[in-house]
Amino acid sequence: MANASPTIPRVLALAIAGLTLATASALAAFDMVNERRSGLPTLAGPMTPGFALSHRAMSLIATHVQGDDGASLALPKDIAMKARDHSLASLRREPLDGAALRNLALLAQGEGEAESAQELLLMSETVSRRDLRTNVLLAQVFASDADFPATVSRFDQALRTSSNARREILPLLYQALAQPEAQGIVAQMLARNVNWEGDFWAGADSYAPALPQLAQLRIGRAQAGFVSTPRDDRRLLRALVKAKEFASAEALFDSLHSRIETQRGTIRNGDFATTPRVGAFDWELRFDSSLTTDIFPAASQLRIQTYSDGGGLAARQLVALRDAQYRLAVRSSDWDARDANALSIQLNCAEFSASARSVAIGESATSLVITKPAADCVYHWFEIHVAPQEDRRENSLKIDAVSLIPLAGE
């Protein structure tokens, strides 16, 4: 692997080691609290003697983990012998004690016997595939060997086993997706409809470097019929937009909203026939104490209500403008002459800072040519603005349709 920066296996190994240390430390703390309360060693608890011995050995090992990554053991010889004796005694009494095998693997690892440690962990896994600590230790071993399929397989086993492990392991999957070889493996895993997929998408917006890969994964799952929550899809889309990954965001939006076709031109849902689900490339609506905006699909209308001197941005959506000039059309069947120039349309480049292009809407049916503000900018915010109406305490504006059609296509 490259030496210029921390490799994915190294990152995974460090993170998994931290998780392993945390679980081991928790077990040690349980033992100490139990002994303090009862005055008896933990092995005298309710477990059978064999299992109690292996847990006692685990406590001895956990108190001697060293290093920032929690990956090295510094056991005094007498403590190592005691932990080994406890584990072997446990196996003699309980041959299927996976924890005892895991303890022996950790001891072998601490002595630099990596091959023996891996064999013992695989034996422990055979005894119990649902053991969380064994799974994360095996993931650590395979990550250090750059065996990504085996690493992800152990992640999957751990995620299926424990919902508590998900907040530790899922971020590792997001990080790993930055590697091309990881994407197909994770896609195949999700295709099995794993029980942790909902949690996976709930946090998918949290790791910016892998957002385009996560978008591709989500597109594939949408095509397979998987339905996430609108909240999770909205968060992923917003994260993509914030990271200026507009092409990925647009592709994801279209995969989630096949029912929302772009009417002739570039505006989606320009006839206001559907309620926006996730925003971005559909309408994002303002709602506060001075101005409220809503869509009424039954009436095919966008309605803007202003209070007192409320005004400003009322609704917006992202549009991809690849031509230079467009025909803008705005239509309202419920127009008050006093509303002349109360509405305006603004185009703002979303990719970089540029001067906005603004046009006033002066009548119930407006059609005019508009040039996009920056020739080399594709993605723009298409915004509907309302001017404050100081002479009226309340004002209601209704729009029936908006369209933006390339002039060359007319």
Residue with tokens 């990881």: 182
State how beta strands 394-399 and 301-307 pair: antiparallel
Which tokens sit at 250? 């647009």
CA pair distance 57, 100, nearest whole angstrom = 8
Q: Is residue 340 part of a domain?
A: yes
Return contacts of 76-80, CB within 8 angstroms, 24+ apart: 80/107, 80/110
- Given 254, 274, 300, the domain boundary residue is 254
pLDDT tens per residue across span 258-290 = 654 444 468 999 999 999 988 899 999 999 988
Rounded to 5°, the CA angle 369-346-407 comes to: 25
How far is CA 59 from its chain centroid?
A: 35
Residues 218 and 78 in one domain: yes
**pLDDT surpassing 70 at residue 225:** yes
Q: Is residue 369 part of a domain?
A: yes
Residue with tokens 């008050």: 336
Worst-scoring range by mean pLDDT, 65-74, 231-240, 323-332?
65-74
- Name which residue leads in pLDDT, 297 or 3: 297
pLDDT tens per residue across span 382-397 = 999 998 876 667 888 8
pLDDT confidence band for 159 (50 / 70 / 90)? confident
**pLDDT surpassing 70 at residue 42:** no
Q: How many domains does the chain have?
A: 2
- Range with the largest mean pLDDT of 95-99, 181-185, 221-225: 221-225
Judge contact between 201 and 195, C-beta under 8 A: no
Q: Is residue 262 part of a domain?
A: no
CA pair distance 81, 74, nearest whole angstrom = 13
Judge contact between 123 and 90, C-beta under 8 A: no
**pLDDT surpassing 60 at residue 67:** no
Q: What phi, psi does 16 have (nearest 5°)?
A: -65, -40
Give mean pLDDT, residues 23-32. 42
Judge contact between 159 and 165, C-beta under 8 A: yes
- Name which residue leads in pLDDT, 376 or 258: 376
Burial 353-387 (b: 16+ CB within 10 A, else e): ebeebebebeebebeeebebbbeebbbbbbbbbbb
Residues 18 and 154 in one domain: yes
Residues 215 and 291 in one domain: no
pLDDT confidence band for 410 (50 / 70 / 90)? low
The whole-number pLDDT of residue 258 equals: 62
Nearest CA among 316, 271, 273 for reference residue 293: 316
**pLDDT surpassing 80 at residue 9:** no
pLDDT tens per residue across span 128-140 = 777 777 877 887 7
**How many Cα atoms sit within 13 Å of 97 on the Cβ side?**
26
Strand partners, 262: 268
Judge contact between 55 and 98, C-beta under 8 A: no
Q: Which domain does 360 fall in, by range?
A: 284-409
Q: Is residue 268 part of a domain?
A: no
Give the dihedral sign, CA 50/51/57/59.
negative
Give mean pLDDT, residues 41-48. 44
What is the pTM for the complete model shown? Answer: 0.73
* Amino acid at position 316, single letter: R
Let me know how many helices (H) and strands (E) the chain has, helices first: 13, 13
Judge contact between 303 and 339, C-beta under 8 A: no
The whole-number pLDDT of residue 182 equals: 81
Say which CATH number the domain at 79 has: 1.25.40.10
Residues 231 and 312 in one domain: no
Residues 196 and 294 in one domain: no
Which tokens sit at 354? 């540029």
- Name which residue leads in pLDDT, 162 or 317: 317
Q: Is residue 271 part of a domain?
A: no
User: Exposed, middle or buried by CB within 10 Å (0-12, 13-18, 19+), for 331?
Assistant: middle
**pLDDT surpassing 50 at residue 103:** yes
Specify whether the backbone of 225 is left (phi greater than 0), alpha (psi in -120 to 50) or beta: left
Residues 98 and 170 in one domain: yes
pLDDT tens per residue across span 290-310 = 899 999 999 999 999 988 778
The whole-number pLDDT of residue 183 equals: 86
Residues 18 and 124 in one domain: yes
Residues 86 and 223 in one domain: yes
Q: Is residue 123 part of a domain?
A: yes
The whole-number pLDDT of residue 392 equals: 65
How far is CA 184 from its chain centroid?
A: 17
Q: Is residue 64 part of a domain?
A: yes
- Given 254, 274, 304, the domain boundary residue is 254
Judge contact between 59 and 45, C-beta under 8 A: no
* Amino acid at position 349, single letter: C
pLDDT tens per residue across span 169-202 = 888 888 878 777 788 889 999 999 899 999 999 9
Residues 73 and 152 in one domain: yes
CA pair distance 163, 142, nearest whole angstrom = 22
Residues 81 and 191 in one domain: yes
User: Exposed, middle or buried by CB within 10 Å (0-12, 13-18, 19+), for 179?
Assistant: middle
Say which CATH number the domain at 342 has: 2.60.120.260
pLDDT confidence band for 148 (50 / 70 / 90)? confident
Mean pLDDT (the chain) is: 80
The whole-number pLDDT of residue 64 equals: 65
Give mean pLDDT, residues 366-395. 88
pLDDT confidence band for 363 (50 / 70 / 90)? confident
Residues 147 and 86 in one domain: yes
Residues 250 and 322 in one domain: no
Q: Is residue 148 part of a domain?
A: yes
pLDDT confidence band for 21 (50 / 70 / 90)? very low
- Given 254, 271, 302, the domain boundary residue is 254
